[in-house]
Amino acid sequence: MLSRFGFLRQGLLAAAVVLMAPAAASAHAMLHSSDPADGSTLNSSPRAVHLMFSEECRVTSLRLLDGAGKEHQVRREGGREAASHATATVPASLPPGAYRIEWRAMGGDGHVMSGAVRFAVNASR
């Protein structure tokens, strides 16, 4: 037979498990990794940019900007259906400098998330 304290402890433990379950089920997609990696310095211009997410989401915007804020053309590969990754080719060689990939995505639950990946291209030697 359980003591009053043991009964209370088991009840609190059960309540904690029940309350934590919906939080785990409603977790949102997050950027897992990227290529180029955030903060990296490349010796040459990338041919493509890749974003990998923790779960499937629909990337609604993907832009490549230089340090001055000028947008550089990229071509999205694949459609806009939900996927755990997004890829865009960089048709022209990027000059040396700082760049950022700005992205925006919508998870299956409708949650909108956004972020940026920063990288640099070194001057050619």
The pLDDT tens digits for 28-58 are: 778 999 999 999 999 999 999 999 999 999 9
Distances in Å between the Cα of 29 and the Cα atoms of 24, 93, 107 are 12, 31, 6
Give SS3 for 55.
strand
Residues forming a β-bridge with 44: none
In tens, the pLDDT along 69-125 reads 999 999 998 877 899 999 999 989 999 999 999 999 999 888 999 999 999 999 765
Residue 19 has pLDDT above 90, yes or no: no
Rounded to the nearest 10 degrees, how much is the dihedral formed by the CA atoms of 9, 15, 18, 21? -70
The identity of residue 90, as a single letter, is: V
Closest Cα partner for 118 from 43, 41, 32? Answer: 41
Residues forming a β-bridge with 78: none
